Structure 1
């Protein structure tokens, strides 16, 4: 779902500076990643970041 949100951001706003893109990413895509990470492995104390998706951003 977060990949589709990132694609939507890139399609809708073709010319973005880094600051604006990060703001949109943190507002729309990041909450889905954080929620999915906690639901997927709730028994882990340390929640690792989802680096492949963050590298795309």
Structure 2
């Protein structure tokens, strides 16, 4: 099991939560959070290891 970077994960999770509160669409919230995080952390290692499991809505 590999660890994830703390700084980028914090941004990703905060953005995901904020986006989810606004749209209630988990898949869209995660995608938007990843794109936002990617702007500050272009290396996929910082944000690409997260997936949504289950129903998106």
**Whose helix fraction is larger, Structure 1's or Structure 2's?**
1
TM-score range relative to shorter protein: 0.3 to 0.5
TM-score w.r.t. length of structure 2: 0.41
Higher relative contact order (CA 8 A, sep 6+): 1
Q: Radius of gyration: which is bigger?
A: 1
